Amino acid sequence: MRKILITGFEPFGGYVENSSWEAAKKVASFGVFNVDIATECLPVSFVRAPMTIREAIYRHTPDVVIMLGQSATADRIKLERVALNMMDSAMGDNDGAKPDEEPIDKDGATALLTSLPIKILRSAIEAKGINVKISNSAGLYVCNRTYYEGLRICRERGARAIFVHLPLYEGQKSPHRDKKTMPLGDMCRAIQTIIEEIK
Ligand code: PCA
């Protein structure tokens, strides 16, 4: 049976929930036929998120890692193509860290790319009538930091990985007004579609 690890994040930036963790829990509770799904909730911390995902990958030994994150500015699902070797944040993470254009690994590759067929995944999600696009930047915050780590570890272990940014879910409490949202059910169907495509 194929093993998949789905990660989401704890809340950050004034939100009381994170759509990524809400979606991860729901996909795992529905399940996907013939797939062993593990989940992990990551801290929004430049230091602790990569440590936690490394530990989770070693513990769960997945074939594929699907990392999820919330993007409150997104109006659709964003399949992230690339992780950049840089950290930068004026807002700071949940530990108060505010890296200023710091490399993740000064000897590491400038960028790492997903090892999954991103255009095929986009088409499959579109075919379900769900709004989706490919994005060429996951930002320079904790999601990008986590993606870089996830891709690096998966490459070492012969596993595959992708990062997916999700909008706020419909009904999610937000400290900001007029944010675009998406039904949580659509986000879950998109993630299930990814899992089915890579079986
Ligand atoms: N989104 C943030 C970090 C945690 C999350 O859910 C990001 O896009 O970097």
pLDDT of residue 48: 98
Reply yes or no on whether the pLDDT at 179 is more than 90.
Answer: no
Task: Taking residues 105-124, report their average pLDDT.
Answer: 97
pLDDT of residue 145: 98
Average pLDDT, the chain: 97
> What are the pocket residues of ligand 1 if the criterion is a CB atom closer than 6 Å to any ligand atom?
9, 12, 18, 20, 44, 69-71, 139, 141-143
Query: Residue of the nearest CA to atom 9 in ligand 1?
Result: 143
Kindly report the pTM of this predicted structure: 0.98
DSSP secondary structure of 116-150: S-HHHHHHHHHHTT--EEEES---SSHHHHHHHHH
Task: Taking residues 134-142, report their average pLDDT.
Answer: 98
Reply yes or no on whether the pLDDT at 144 is more than 80.
Answer: yes
DSSP 100: -
Say how many Å lie between the CA of residue 44 and the centre of ligand 1. Answer: 7
Reply yes or no on whether the pLDDT at 169 is more than 80.
Answer: yes
Mutational pocket test of ligand 1: of 6, 7, 12, the residue with most ligand atoms within 8 Å of the beta carbon: 12
For residues 99 and 89, is the Cβ–Cβ distance under 8 A?
A: yes
Side-chain-side CA neighbours of residue 78 (13 Å): 21
Atom nearest to 69 CA in ligand 1: 6
Choose among 180, 147, 102: nearest CA to 7.
Answer: 147
Say how many Å lie between the CA of residue 143 and the centre of ligand 1. Answer: 5
Task: Taking residues 23-52, report their average pLDDT.
Answer: 97
pLDDT of residue 1: 87
pLDDT of residue 127: 98
CA distance 76 to 91: 23
DSSP 104: S
